[in-house]
Amino acid sequence: MATEAKMTEQLTDIGRRLAALREIMGITAEGMAESLSLGLGDYLSHEAGDSDFSFSFLYNAAGVLGVDVVDLLSGESPKLTKCAVVRKGEGYDIARRKAYDYKHLAFTFRDKKAEPFLVTVEGGDGKAPTLHSHAGQEFNYMLSGSMEFLYGDAMHALGEGDSAYFDSGTPHAMRSVGGEPARFIAIVLK
């Protein structure tokens, strides 16, 4: 339950930051929804913290607002550096969805051309994952476990040492298979 409370609090905080940044930028809620190809009600649900945020949504919203994804997630611009070193087990935790654990691996580096993450996907609940898309390209490299990588209408089985490089504008999702968590490096290229 503590994890769910943390996720709910984080969703509310992100929603508040999203609304505040949108207002500072002089963008209407309607304009923001249109820029993100969402209905106004769906967009406002994100601002209210009532809906979970996909990485695609956060990435695209940060792009519209001209901020870093970490700014939306944390509300703080991290101490910036020209070299970001992240120690084993560290990284900026992103608690978005129950089955996914994201650690941002370059959160102190400003003006990144890529967003690197260590992603752990827990065993699935049997439901088909929701497909998401965002501008750019993505590279995923499997460290351990097995997962199904859904890309458009195709499904690819990936295991340790496998990788996928793809146009992230095509709807995609991942889900762990085999009863063990799947761990991979995801690099999102702007």
Instruction: Encode pLDDT of 133-165 as tens digits.
Output: 888 999 999 999 999 999 999 999 999 999 999
Higher pLDDT, 79 or 161: 161
Which of 25, 14, 115, 30 is closest to 66 using CA atoms? 25
pLDDT the model gives residue 139: 97
For the chain, the domains span 2-74, 92-189
Would you give the end-to-end CA distance of the chain in angstroms? 35
Calculate mean pLDDT across residues 32-45. 92
pLDDT the model gives residue 122: 83
Tell me 74's DSSP state.
H
Instruction: Encode pLDDT of 43-67 as tens digits.
Output: 999 999 888 878 788 888 988 887 8
Higher pLDDT, 29 or 66: 29
**Average pLDDT score, the chain:** 85
Task: State the sign of the Cα–Cα–Cα–Cα dihedral 47, 38, 63, 55.
Answer: positive
pLDDT the model gives residue 11: 83
Topology annotation, domain 2-74: 434 Repressor (Amino-terminal Domain) (1.10.260)
Location of structure tokens 């699935």: 124
| pLDDT band at residue 79 using 50, 70 and 90 as cut-offs | low
pLDDT the model gives residue 1: 45
Topology annotation, domain 92-189: Jelly Rolls (2.60.120)
Is 2-74's fold the same as 92-189's? no
Q: 64 CB contacts (<8 Å, ≥6 apart)?
A: 27, 32, 35, 36
Which of 119, 54, 121, 113 is closest to 84 using CA atoms? 113
pLDDT the model gives residue 32: 94
